[in-house]
């Protein structure tokens, strides 16, 4: 069965939430289930939005001199100031709830005007707690701060969901730092943390009330449209989803899988036959290439066929799946956004 809907992983390089929602709604008029605000403005740098909060805390200090220009190749890291007890720290307002409430007002207005179709939910995205801590706190102090930071993030999410009708919102957790660890990019031994990582992801899913869809974006990074490593297959992503599904107290509502735009090997998609996630879990695959001119002709059609075959070989009878980009579109050139959105519609139309 070919794809029947679209999914957006969050960031979109446009000026503001209104521009993002109008462009998505106009260029992808069918197959739209959720719509993000684009993570525009201060949130455009993903975890650097949190780094700015961290830098305002007197009890965190730079571990090395801060560079004028920062990036994910060597992200700025902080440490506890001398004499600070990590058990006594207090995190500031993390800022997500306030930003999303402003965007929800835009969403509600556009839906009232008929720009956004009825039934489409407002989608919010949070990094997992491990991402800002793992990127911006020195390794030897991460575990000491991760628990309290996670509580602050969960409180931010809870505050947000207390102010938005649950039938109008969906929550996505961005899972990138976890794959960085599991793929042992920085250090060996990360694969041994599989149980702890999937338990933490289940805890994230469980923070979302049962009447609000909760999803996972399984991500291999997008620094310069390059992954931190190219996944050899979907095997690890399937294992993670299966484990989180088994550990969580509520269902995983939707998930997006990373598929490199050149990938058309049967072995890459074959692990989908091992999916044990709930039949109701919505599956989305990154078949929308950032650089379609560089993709070999016929690749998308081949990917669709391979996904269908792998899913048919698995248990149950999964009905339909969706398409997305490999990560967000926050680091795509702004001039390329309209064509990328149009490509979602074109791939759906070719089914």
Strand duo 322-323 + 60-62: pairing: unpaired
Rounded to two decimals, what is the model's pTM?
0.94
Number of domains in the chain: 1
Structure tokens at 94: 């993390």
pLDDT of residue 302: 94
Residues whose CB is less than 8 angstroms from the CB of residue 38 and which lie 6 or more positions away in sequence, other chains included: 10, 11, 12, 13, 14, 16, 17, 19, 20, 21, 330
pLDDT of residue 329: 83
Distance, in Å, from the CA atom of 251 to the CA atom of 211, rounded to the nearest integer, reads 10
pLDDT of residue 225: 57
Distance from the first to the final alpha carbon of the chain = 9
pLDDT of residue 191: 72
pLDDT of residue 165: 98
Mean residue pLDDT of the chain comes to 91
CA-nearest of 105, 101, 102 to 116 is 105
**Under a CB-based contact definition with an 8 Å cutoff, are residues 23 and 337 in contact?**
yes
Mean pLDDT of 99-123: 97
Out of 22-31, 59-68, 340-349, which region has the weakest mean confidence (pLDDT)? 59-68
Residues whose CB is less than 8 angstroms from the CB of residue 92 and which lie 6 or more positions away in sequence, other chains included: 53, 56, 57
Domain that holds residue 345: 5-349
Strand duo 214-218 + 78-80: pairing: unpaired
Mean pLDDT of 158-181: 95
Q: What is the CATH number of the domain that holds 80?
A: 3.20.20
CA distances from 151 to 203, 251, 300, 326 (A): 11, 21, 41, 29
CA-nearest of 347, 272, 265, 235 to 7 is 347
Is it the case that residue 187 has pLDDT exceeding 70?
Answer: no
Give residue 230's pLDDT band: very low, low, confident or very high (50, 70, 90). confident
């Amino acid at each position: 069965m070919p794809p029947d809907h679209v999914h957006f992983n969050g960031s979109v390089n446009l000026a503001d939430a209104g521009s993002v929602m109008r462009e998505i709604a106009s260029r992808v008029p069918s197959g739209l289930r959720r719509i993000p605000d684009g993570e525009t403005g201060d949130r455009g740098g993903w975890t650097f939005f949190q780094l700015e909060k961290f830098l305002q805390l007197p009890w965190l200090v730079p571990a090395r001199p801060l560079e004028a220009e920062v990036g994910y190749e060597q992200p700025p890291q902080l440490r506890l100031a001398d004499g600070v007890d990590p058990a006594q720290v207090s995190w500031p307002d993390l800022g997500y709830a306030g930003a999303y409430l402003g965007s929800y007002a835009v969403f509600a207005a556009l839906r009232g005007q008929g720009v956004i179709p009825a039934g489409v939910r407002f989608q919010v995205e949070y990094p997992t707690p491990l991402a800002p801590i793992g990127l911006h706190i020195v390794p030897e102090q991460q575990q000491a701060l991760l628990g309290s930071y996670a509580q602050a993030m969960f409180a931010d999410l809870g505050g947000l969901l207390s102010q938005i009708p649950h039938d109008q919102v969906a929550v996505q957790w961005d899972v990138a730092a976890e794959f960085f660890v599991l793929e042992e990019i920085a250090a060996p031994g990360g694969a041994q943390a599989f149980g702890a990582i999937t338990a933490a992801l289940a805890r994230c899913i469980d923070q979302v009330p049962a009447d609000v869809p909760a999803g996972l974006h399984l991500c291999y990074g997008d620094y310069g449209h390059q992954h931190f490593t190219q996944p050899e297959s979907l095997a690890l992503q399937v294992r993670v989803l299966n484990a989180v599904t088994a550990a969580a107290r509520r269902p995983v509502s939707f998930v997006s899988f990373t598929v490199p735009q050149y990938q058309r090997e049967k072995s890459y998609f074959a692990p989908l036959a091992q999916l044990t996630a709930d039949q109701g879990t919505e599956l989305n695959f990154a078949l929308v290439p950032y650089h379609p001119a560089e993709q070999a002709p016929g690749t998308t059609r081949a990917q669709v066929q391979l996904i269908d075959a792998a899913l048919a070989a698995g248990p149950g009878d999964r009905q339909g799946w969706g398409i997305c980009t490999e990560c967000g579109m926050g680091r795509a050139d702004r001039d390329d956004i309209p064509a990328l959105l149009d490509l979602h519609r074109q791939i759906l139309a070719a089914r």
